[in-house]
Amino acid sequence: MIVSWFSAGVSSAVGTKIYIIEPMYQKIDKIIYIDIADQHPDSLRFVKDCEKWFEKEILILSSPYKSVENACLSAGGKGYINGAHGAACSLRLKKKIRVQWEYEQNYDDKITYIWGLDCLETIRRDGIIKSMPDQNHIFPLMDKNITKVQAHEILKASGIKRPQMYDLGYHNNNCIGCVKGGKGYWNKIRVDFPDVFKKRAEMERKIGKTCLKKDRPNKNLPAGKDNSVNLYLDELNPKSGNHKKEITEDCGMFCDSMRLE
């Protein structure tokens, strides 16, 4: 069984399409998208557009927790946001859904997963392979040496409108208010989605944990209980951090050559 875990991001879309049309790959069996309440509403529009582009139905799954806040507040009965083992929302809203789906397949052979990582995301690739040794993994963008910017160019050349989060200047089509974002990201959320910023700040106070950390008092010592201080969002300096400009597509003289049909 060959499955694409479609994230509703540009790289994921182009990686899936490349797998579908390239004769070097086998036939894809399923394309699966995990829907989360905190995604931008335009994500489902993009999913439907890609479904037509792929010429294959996209299976939509969702967690009973539905939202980031529900997943974080319910973590272990005590509340948990992010840490060394990852984010509570990623675990409950995505990973558990994938593992449950795998269990229900009752499939004897290894499942092969398709991932939309661009050619520079080698650390993420290695992490996926290491953490999921029971599956095979294919990375079409890496096989073709395609960068994130080139993936955006390919999507535009193919006539598919990218999700609005990119046009707003975000680098990924993640949940609005991703707990793994940095200071610059959160200050951009503060401006673009003030209600989300307020809700995440209130969630932090309820749990007593934070998305961000202050600079360590002693940088010569490792982070830990005595050398790492929580930075609550409602304490974040509005001028802190740096958020790089949006990913732009240059659909120019080579536009037609990049089109995928």
pLDDT of 8 reads 96
Which pLDDT belongs to residue 252? 42
CA distances, 242 to each of 18, 77, 102, 217, 245 (Å): 33, 34, 39, 21, 10
Please say if the pLDDT value at position 23 is more than 80. Answer: yes
- Comparing 217 with 104, the larger pLDDT belongs to 104
Q: Is it the case that residue 209 has pLDDT exceeding 70?
A: yes
What pLDDT digit, counting tens, does each position of 175-196 carry? 999 999 999 999 999 999 999 9
Grade residue 67 by pLDDT with cuts at 50, 70 and 90. very high
Residue 107 is classified by DSSP as -
Residue 80 is predicted with a pLDDT of 80
Helix (H) / strand (E) element for 89: namely helix 88-90
Q: Is 177 exposed, middle or buried (0-12, 13-18, 19+ CB in 10 A)?
A: buried
**Over 80: is that where the pLDDT of 204 sits?**
yes
What span, in angstroms and rounded, lies between the C-alpha atoms of 181 and 178?
6
DSSP state, residue 153: H
Q: For the structural domain made of 2-170+249-258, what CATH number should be given?
A: 3.40.50.620
SS3 of residue 85 by DSSP = coil
SS3 label, residue 137: strand
| pLDDT above 90 (res 76) | no
The answer to whether the CB of 179 falls within 8 A of the CB of 72 is: yes
State yes or no: pLDDT of 255 exceeds 50: no
Separation CA 106–CA 230 (nearest Å)? 43
Instruction: Quote the pLDDT of residue 241.
Output: 87
Model confidence over 105-143: pLDDT tens digits? 877 788 999 999 999 999 999 999 999 998 999 999 999
Asked if 237 and 137 count as a contact pair (C-beta separation under 8 A), the reply is no
